Amino acid sequence: MDKLDGIAEWLTLYGYKQGMERMPHRKALQKVFEEGSRMVLAELSRIIEPAKARYKAILKAVAQGATRWRDIKSHVEVRTGAWIPDNRFSELLKNLVKYGYLAKQGDEYTIPDPMVKHEVKDL
C-alpha cells in the first residue's frame, strides 16, 4: 500500500479491485499499476502536447533526482537541445505544479504521485 502513497484515486481503485472484484492483494496492486499507468500517460499526453518534449524532460529530470530550478532547467536544455527563456521555463514548472504533476516545497520540486514518478522515469 505504500506504493500508492495515500493518493485517493489509486486507493479507491485498489479498494474496488479487492472488494468488488475479489482480487488478492498482489493482483489488485498489479492491476492498479497497470490501469493507473495507462490513465496517467493518457492524461499527461493530453496536457503536455503543446510543449511535450520540454514537459517530458522536466518530469524525467525530477524523477531522476533533479529538484532545484537551475538543475532541472539544465537537464531540460541538454535533453531538448534548445535554450529556454527563464520566464518560459518557470511557466512550464508552474503548469506542472498547477496540474498536480509536481509539488514545490521551498526551492525544491518533487513528483508527489508515485504512479506518475514510476511512469516518467522511462520517458
- Classify residue 79 as exposed, middle or buried by CB count within 10 Å of its CB (0-12, 13-18, 19+): middle
Task: Check: CB of residue 31 under 8 Å from CB of residue 39.
Answer: no
Helix (H, G, I), strand (E, B) or coil at 1: coil
pLDDT in tens, 71-103: 999 999 998 888 899 999 999 999 999 989 999
pLDDT in tens, 8-58: 788 888 888 888 888 888 898 888 888 888 888 787 777 666 677 898 899
Residues 20 and 77 in one domain: no
Position of cell 532545484?
68
Residues 72 and 16 in one domain: no
Q: What is the pLDDT, as a whole number, of residue 5?
A: 65
Residues 29 and 71 in one domain: no
Q: How far apart are CA 122 and CA 55, in angstroms?
A: 14
Rounded to two decimals, the pTM is 0.64
Please give the residue range of the domain that contains residue 80: 50-120
